[in-house]
Amino acid sequence: MTSSPSSLRVALIGNGFMGAAHSQAWRVAPRFFDLPLEPEMSVLVGRDAGRAEIAAGRWGWAASSDDWRSVIARDDIDVVDIVTPGDSHAEIACAALAAGKHVICEKPLANTVDEARAMADAARAAAADGILAMVGFTYRRVPAVTLARDLVAEGRVGTIRQITVSYHQDWLVDPESPFTWRMDKSLAGSGALGDIGAHAIDLAQFVTGHDISSVSGIIETLVPERRDAHGRAAVVTVDDRALFTGRLDNGVLGSFEVSRMSTGRKNSLRIEVAGSLGAIAFDLEDLNSLQFYDATIDASRRGFSKIIVTEPEHPYIEAWWPAGHMLGYEHGFSHQVSDFVHAIAAGEQPRPSFDDGLQVQRVLDAVERSSHAGSVWSAV
């Protein structure tokens, strides 16, 4: 494969649900954003060669493989995008960084703090040679979420007094829903806590600009056994639901709740930040809008107002459709590609970094330890 100096040759490792989302992003981003480097969708890697070949053809990859090690060793690959289950993140990411490849890795960064720390150490060492790494907390790049972060940073809510974050889904409500790898701790690390709780933690830290320093939490498994694809009983070794309080490093106390058993909630990631001058509120199920409360205006005119985040002045929106037209779930992945490519071209550390991913991993670990011990655990 030949490549011009202005191209960025990408290998995607993993061909499941996230493989489709990331493929869409690599294909679409350069057609809407003015990127300094042209992504080339070089190769898709999957464990099953036949399925990988089919997925590569469907999603627009030039080739496929079932051997990620040989792909990482190739001289004609510049970026490795990891969307495999969490148990393989550390091995693949560290190998790719050592081979001189830029890396983007899906969240949560790893299954354990030790794995995440090894990945963050490898990323820092690689950065000294201009090799960059980023973790895929895509919801940061929903325009309304980025706007929320901007409003908080500008002081529009004043001094933050409290935050409330939740992530509710209902895809496991039915006890007859089949057992998958996401219910196996050895593969997934944790259940709702890591799968969607990682997003809630990152969202809180991104919007407020402060890290969670300590937690007190409890996790539970509501359906302890399910049937696998062959009808055999399989023990669920992860949580279905997690509740915890988190103290930010500025002293603010937040409440967090995540569940994959919330009947009627399909993908409700919510955050509310209340401050001395106002408040913001966001719900992913209404992702094109942001609620804003201005406590500085006359009391007779106060109330949450709905900002429709579809104007070219809003984050990322100018690249897409005419003003007022909606964006969807998949657009955040294109924004992620755009930001990552721009960072690589500029030689600047993209965010969230592997260190940011390690911080989230520490919080996840602290919540689980707190639940087991029944006490408060530090997240630093």
Domain edges within the chain:
7-139, 140-325+358-373
Q: Where are the alpha helices (DSSP H) in the chain?
A: 17-32, 49-59, 68-72, 89-98, 113-127, 143-153, 185-188, 192-195, 197-208, 331-346, 354-373
**What pLDDT sits at residue 2?**
38
- Cα dist from 296 to 157, 163, 276, 278, 290, whole Å: 9, 20, 9, 7, 18
- The closest of 60, 115, 74, 61 to 91, measured between CA atoms, is 115
**What pLDDT sits at residue 135?**
98
Q: Whole-prediction pTM value?
A: 0.95
Same fold, 7-139 and 140-325+358-373: no
* Domain boundaries 7-139, CATH class: alpha beta
**What pLDDT sits at residue 132?**
98
**What pLDDT sits at residue 123?**
98
**What pLDDT sits at residue 5?**
52
Radius of gyration of the chain (CA): 21
**What pLDDT sits at residue 342?**
98
DSSP secondary-structure letter at 318?
G
Q: Where does 140-325+358-373 sit in CATH, by number?
A: 3.30.360.10
Q: What is the mean pLDDT of each run of 10 residues along the chain (380 residues)?
A: 70 96 98 98 97 98 98 98 97 98 98 98 98 98 98 98 98 96 95 97 98 97 95 96 97 98 98 98 98 97 98 98 97 98 98 98 97 80
- The closest of 142, 138, 141 to 285, measured between CA atoms, is 142
Neighbours of 344 (CB within 10 A): 22
Segment 276-301, tens digit of pLDDT: 999 999 999 999 999 999 999 999 99
